[in-house]
Amino acid sequence: MASEEGPAVRVERALLSPHDKTGLETLARGLAELGVELWATGGTRAALTAAGLSVRSAEELTGIGAWFGGRVKTLHPALLGGILAPRTDEGHRELRERGLLPFDLVVVNFYPFEQHLRDSPEATDREEYVDIGGVTLVRAAAKNHAGVAVLTDPSEYEPLLTELREHAGAVSARTRAHLARRAFQRVAAYDAAIAAGLLPPATGDDPFPSTILLEREPLRLRYGENPHQPAAVYRATGGFRSRPFEVLKGAALSYTNLLDADTALEIVSEFPLPAAAVVKHATPCGVAEGTTLREALDRAIATDPVARFGCAIAVNRPMGPGDTEALHGVFVDLLAAPEVEPAAREALERRPKLKLVRTAPPSVDHSRWEARTTFGRVLVQEADRRQIAPGEFRPMTSHRATPEQLCSLDFAWRVVRHAKSNAIVLAQGPATVGIGSGQPTRVKAVELACEVAGARAKGSVLASDAFFPFADGVEVAVRAGVAAVLQPGGSLRDPEVIAAAEKAGVAMYFTGWRVFRH
Strand partners, 431: 288
CA distances from 450 to 283, 291, 304, 453, 488 (A): 17, 26, 11, 5, 20
Q: Are 106 and 179 in contact, with CB atoms under 8 Å apart?
A: no
> Any catalytic annotation for residue 73?
no
Burial class from Cβ neighbours inside 10 Å (0-12, 13-18, 19+) for residue 93 reads exposed
326 CB neighbour count, 10 Å cutoff: 22
Cα gap 471→468, rounded to integer Å: 7
| DSSP strand pairing (13-16 vs 283-289) | unpaired
> Any catalytic annotation for residue 281?
yes
Report the Cα 166 to chain-centroid distance in Å.
39
99 CB neighbour count, 10 Å cutoff: 9
Cα gap 513→394, rounded to integer Å: 11
Helix axes 77-84, 133-143, angle to 10 degrees: 20
Cα gap 302→363, rounded to integer Å: 27
Q: DSSP assignment, residue 301? A: H
b/e per residue, 227-255, with b = 16+ CB within 10 A?
A: eeeebebeebbbbbeeeebebbebeebbb
First to last CA, the chain: 41
Phi-psi sector, 254: left (phi>0), alpha (psi -120 to 50), beta: beta
The length of the chain is: 518
Strand partners, 374: 377
- Catalytic, out of 21, 178, 249, 281: 281
| Identity of residue 288 | A
Q: Are 466 and 425 in contact, with CB atoms under 8 Å apart?
A: no
Peptide bond into 226 cis (omega under 30): no
For residue 160, the surrounding DSSP H or E stretch is helix 157-166
Cα angle 133, 136, 139 (rounded to 5 degrees) comes to 150
480 backbone dihedrals φ, ψ, rounded to 5°: -80, -15
The residue among 103, 106, 93, 115 whose CA lies nearest residue 150 is: 106
- Catalytic, out of 143, 249, 399, 444: 143
Helices (H), 303-387: 342-349
Report the Cα 133 to chain-centroid distance in Å.
30
Show which residues are catalytic: 143, 281
